[in-house]
């Protein structure tokens, strides 16, 4: 603990030095055009509100799972192509991944956001009780339908301004494919997608307009791996002694893990699902597979958990006379570390833009959903949150993960959370989809696009901000070296969830948003906004 505190103290000193150097380089006067152009950007993005809302609704209606974002990627790249962006498809060996590029010269700004949905989260928007569009189907129960529409809006508005003002700079747009499986960003890094990037500007749906700098202590690092066992089939009643069950191995591995759980650090999170548990009871299962997420606060601790998991698997194989056939890495994530100078610039724009003006209907829906979930009925946030800063290492309690972490250790990175969802929801749940194609999501995206575009403009017109971002990043990396969880031969798990999507896609297709007939997706579904009781 002493060592760790000393390490944290050294890091903070180094970062302060880096920051003060950065401040010293800043010009006394910002670019004279900045204020006027920011005002213009805000007005332009307001004029684009219906277009942005339509994109949010369209992606919502696709409800595609990770690695299966076929319609989503086709739709978004189609819009960007029409706007003059050059599209590179299938990047990093991932069919639904792409890179859109416009402009020339520096700085190179890479705007990204996740695009995948959640299994069994199909839900009619604007309805404050369970009302699936297609029962059992996936849906946007995380809100990943909104982030790329925000970036596309910001990029189009910026492009127009950059053309007129003849501002040098390159805009890149990239989707977080399969974020829920933590499945792609380490591969993007390995494929060199960010190698010329000056600042990566990530957006993620939130409950307020927020940004933060430093190591994100409420996140965990993660490794996702699947363990496959092979046994011997036999008649489960006629000759069970001749069989060896691969499912037994999976179950014993899980039992072993759950006993070990008591003796792990409280910061860890680990969970599993059985992807193959055999075919039918009277056949001793020849194959079985279990999929684990191992989460801890940093790379070495995650690797320790993973080693323990592998020991459990080997022990389970020994106990059952089966073989552990493979251990496959399916995803990974570092804990994000966000860039202080850019976070501070972004926070200035957050204060400038503020939160959307919520209508009585918006608040009514939010409170009804909170009531449904037995949470305090506090409605939507109406005051901007403070700028997030690192928390002391010893107060970390563990949490979720996002593979934007891997990007943040390879290029100066910033994350904007924008207010498109209702506070205090469980996450990864159908109720998280309720607001995501309503005016709440639409207004949050418009406000977020302004902050994103204005921060990009800060970077375009303030070269010293780009330099400060680089200086801060250099200091960040002096303290911790990035080691990817994925090896040189690991491949993206692009087959994941094909089974679920092929089961539901044709049932979902008739519910894709038809913009030729309807102005909003709620209108198409016949939802009166808000519907708070049956
Ligand atoms: Zn997410």
Q: Give me ligand 1 centre to Cα 132, in Å.
A: 21
Q: Give me ligand 1 centre to Cα 416, in Å.
A: 12
At residue 315, the pLDDT reads 98
- The pTM (predicted TM-score) of the whole model is 0.94
Q: How confident is the model at residue 16 (pLDDT cuts 50, 70, 90)?
A: very low
Q: Give me ligand 1 centre to Cα 106, in Å.
A: 29
Provide, rounded to the nearest whole percent, the portion of the chain with pLDDT above 90: 94
Q: Give me ligand 1 centre to Cα 337, in Å.
A: 16
Q: Give me ligand 1 centre to Cα 204, in Å.
A: 6
3-state secondary structure at position 273? strand
At residue 356, the pLDDT reads 98
Average pLDDT over residues 78-99: 98
At residue 348, the pLDDT reads 98
pLDDT higher than 50, residue 2: no
Q: Give me ligand 1 centre to Cα 210, in Å.
A: 15
Q: Give me ligand 1 centre to Cα 130, in Å.
A: 21
R_g (Cα) of the chain, nearest Å: 24
Q: Of 420, 439, 425, whose CA–CA distance to 522 is shortest? A: 439
pLDDT higher than 80, residue 1: no
3-state secondary structure at position 520? coil
Q: Give me ligand 1 centre to Cα 66, in Å.
A: 11
Q: Give me ligand 1 centre to Cα 142, in Å.
A: 6
pLDDT higher than 60, residue 20: no
Q: Give me ligand 1 centre to Cα 18, in Å.
A: 31
Lookup: tokens for 305: 């958990």
pLDDT higher than 80, residue 380: yes
pLDDT higher than 70, residue 27: no
Alpha-carbon span 136 to 239, nearest angstrom: 38
Peptide bond between residue 107 and the one before it cis (omega within 30 degrees of 0)? yes
> What share of residues in the chain are helix, strand, coil (percent, to 5)?
45, 20, 40
Q: Give me ligand 1 centre to Cα 37, in Å.
A: 31
Q: Give me ligand 1 centre to Cα 315, in Å.
A: 35
* CATH 3.40.50.360, applies to 221-333: no
Edge-to-edge strand list for the sheet holding 98-104: 86-89, 98-104, 169-176, 108-114, 199-206, 413-419
Q: How confident is the model at residue 24 (pLDDT cuts 50, 70, 90)?
A: very low
Q: Cα dist. 42→126, 348, 481 in Å?
A: 27, 14, 39
Q: Give me ligand 1 centre to Cα 139, in Å.
A: 13
Give the DSSP letter string of 488-502.
Answer: TT----TTTTHHHHH
Residue 499's Cβ-count burial label (10 Å; 0-12, 13-18, 19+) is exposed
At residue 17, the pLDDT reads 45
Lookup: tokens for 446: 């418009």
Q: Give me ligand 1 centre to Cα 179, in Å.
A: 7
Q: Give me ligand 1 centre to Cα 362, in Å.
A: 22
Q: Are 156 and 450 in contact (CB under 8 A)?
A: no
> Which residues are paired to 417 by β-bridges?
204, 210
Q: Give me ligand 1 centre to Cα 9, in Å.
A: 31
Q: Are 233 and 296 in contact (CB under 8 A)?
A: no
> How confident is the model over 127-173, as pLDDT tens digits?
999 999 999 999 999 999 999 999 999 999 999 999 999 999 999 99
To 10 degrees, what angle do helices 49-62 and 34-47 make? 60
pLDDT higher than 70, residue 395: yes
Domain segments of the chain as ranges: 2-217+336-482+499-525, 221-333
Q: Give me ligand 1 centre to Cα 286, in Å.
A: 36
> How confident is the model over 330-371, as pLDDT tens digits?
999 999 999 999 999 999 999 999 999 999 999 999 999 999
Put residue 351 in one of left, alpha, beta given phi > 0 → left and psi -120 to 50 → alpha: alpha
pLDDT higher than 90, residue 22: no
**Segment holding 452, helix H or strand E:** helix 439-461
Q: Give me ligand 1 centre to Cα 453, in Å.
A: 21
Q: Give me ligand 1 centre to Cα 336, in Å.
A: 13
Average pLDDT over residues 178-197: 97
> How confident is the model over 490-533, as pLDDT tens digits?
999 999 999 999 999 999 999 999 999 999 999 999 999 999 99
Peptide bond between residue 530 and the one before it cis (omega within 30 degrees of 0)? yes
Q: How confident is the model at residue 30 (pLDDT cuts 50, 70, 90)?
A: confident
Average pLDDT over residues 289-318: 98
Multiple choice CATH, 2-217+336-482+499-525, 3.40.50.720, 3.40.50.800, 3.30.450.40, 3.40.630.10: 3.40.630.10
Q: Determine the longest span between alpha carbons in the chain, in angstroms.
A: 86
Average pLDDT over residues 114-125: 98
Relative to beta strand 214-215, strand 199-206 is unpaired
At residue 29, the pLDDT reads 75
Q: Give me ligand 1 centre to Cα 406, in Å.
A: 15
* Strand ranges for 307-398 from DSSP E: 323-333, 337-338
Q: Give me ligand 1 centre to Cα 176, in Å.
A: 9
pLDDT higher than 80, residue 193: yes
pLDDT higher than 80, residue 9: no
Average pLDDT over residues 317-321: 98
Q: Of 73, 120, 138, 176, whose CA–CA distance to 501 is shortest? A: 138
3-state secondary structure at position 272? strand
Q: Give me ligand 1 centre to Cα 284, in Å.
A: 39
Q: Are 313 and 253 in contact (CB under 8 A)?
A: yes
Give the DSSP letter string of 116-158.
Answer: --BTT----TTBSS---SSTT--B-SS-TTSHHHHHHHHHHHH
At residue 23, the pLDDT reads 46
Q: Give me ligand 1 centre to Cα 162, in Å.
A: 30
Q: Give me ligand 1 centre to Cα 379, in Å.
A: 22
Lookup: tokens for 107: 């700085």
Q: Are 458 and 465 in contact (CB under 8 A)?
A: yes
Please name the residues in contact with 107: beta carbons below 8 A apart, sequence gap of 6 or more.
169, 170, 198, 199, 459, 460, 463, 466
Q: Give me ligand 1 centre to Cα 144, in Å.
A: 6
Q: Give me ligand 1 centre to Cα 334, in Å.
A: 15
pLDDT higher than 60, residue 269: yes
Alpha-carbon span 385 to 350, nearest angstrom: 9
Relative to beta strand 98-104, strand 214-215 is unpaired
At residue 4, the pLDDT reads 45
Lowest pLDDT segment from 18-32, 257-271, 312-326, 449-463: 18-32
At residue 100, the pLDDT reads 98
Average pLDDT over residues 7-21: 47
Average pLDDT over residues 208-230: 98
Q: Give me ligand 1 centre to Cα 114, in Å.
A: 6
At residue 416, the pLDDT reads 98
pLDDT higher than 90, residue 478: yes
Q: Give me ligand 1 centre to Cα 275, in Å.
A: 23
């Amino acid at each position: 603990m002493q060592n760790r505190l000393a390490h944290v103290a050294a890091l903070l000193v180094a970062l302060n030095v880096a920051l003060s150097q950065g401040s010293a380089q800043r010009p006394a006067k910002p670019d004279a055009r900045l204020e006027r152009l920011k005002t213009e950007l805000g007005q332009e993005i307001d004029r684009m509100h219906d277009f942005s809302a339509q994109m949010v609704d369209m992606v919502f209606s696709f409800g595609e799972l990770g690695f299966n974002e076929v319609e989503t990627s086709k739709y978004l790249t189609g819009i960007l192509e029409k706007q003059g962006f050059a599209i590179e498809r299938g990047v990093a060996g991932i069919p639904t991944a792409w890179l859109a590029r416009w402009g020339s010269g520096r700085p190179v700004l890479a705007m990204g956001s996740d695009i995948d949905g959640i299994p069994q989260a199909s839900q009619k928007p604007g309805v404050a009780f369970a009302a699936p569009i297609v029962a059992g189907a996936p849906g946007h129960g995380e809100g990943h339908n909104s982030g790329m529409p925000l970036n596309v809006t910001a990029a189009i508005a910026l492009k127009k301004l950059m053309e007129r003002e003849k501002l040098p700079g390159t805009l890149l747009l990239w989707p977080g494919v399969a974020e829920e499986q933590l499945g792609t960003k380490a591969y993007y890094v390995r494929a060199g997608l960010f190698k010329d990037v000056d600042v990566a500007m990530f957006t993620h749906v939130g409950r307020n307009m927020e940004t933060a700098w430093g190591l994100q202590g409420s996140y965990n690092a993660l490794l996702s791996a699947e363990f496959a066992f092979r046994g011997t089939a036999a008649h489960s009643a006629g000759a069970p002694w001749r069989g060896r069950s691969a499912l037994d191995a999976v179950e014993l591995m899980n039992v072993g893990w759950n006993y070990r759980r008591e003796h792990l650090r409280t910061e860890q999170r680990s969970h599993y699902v059985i992807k193959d548990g055999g075919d039918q009871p009277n056949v001793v299962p020849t194959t079985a597979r279990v999929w684990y997420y191992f989460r801890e606060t940093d790379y070495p601790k995650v690797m320790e958990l993973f080693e323990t998991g592998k020991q459990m698997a080997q022990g389970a194989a020994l106990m059952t006379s089966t073989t552990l056939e493979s251990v496959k890495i399916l995803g990974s994530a570092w804990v994000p570390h966000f860039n202080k100078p850019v976070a501070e610039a972004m926070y200035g724009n957050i204060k400038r833009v503020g939160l959307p003006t919520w209508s009585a209907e918006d608040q009514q829906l939010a409170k009804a959903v909170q009531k449904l979930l037995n949470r305090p009925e506090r409605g939507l946030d109406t005051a901007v949150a403070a700028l997030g800063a690192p928390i002391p290492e010893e107060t970390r309690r563990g949490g979720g993960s996002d593979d934007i972490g891997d990007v943040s250790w390879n290029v100066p990175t910033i994350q904007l959370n924008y207010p498109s969802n209702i506070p205090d929801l469980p996450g990864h749940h159908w109720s998280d989809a309720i607001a995501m194609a309503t005016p709440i999501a639409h207004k949050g995206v418009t406000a977020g696009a302004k902050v994103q575009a204005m921060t990009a403009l800060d970077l375009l017109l303030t070269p010293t901000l780009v330099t400060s971002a680089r200086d801060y990043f250099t200091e960040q990396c002096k303290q911790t070296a990035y080691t990817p969880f994925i090896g040189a031969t690991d491949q993206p798990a692009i087959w994941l969830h094909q089974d679920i999507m092929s089961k539901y896609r044709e049932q979902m297709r008739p519910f894709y948003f038809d913009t030729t007939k309807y102005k909003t997706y709620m209108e198409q579904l016949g939802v009166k906004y808000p519907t708070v009781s049956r």
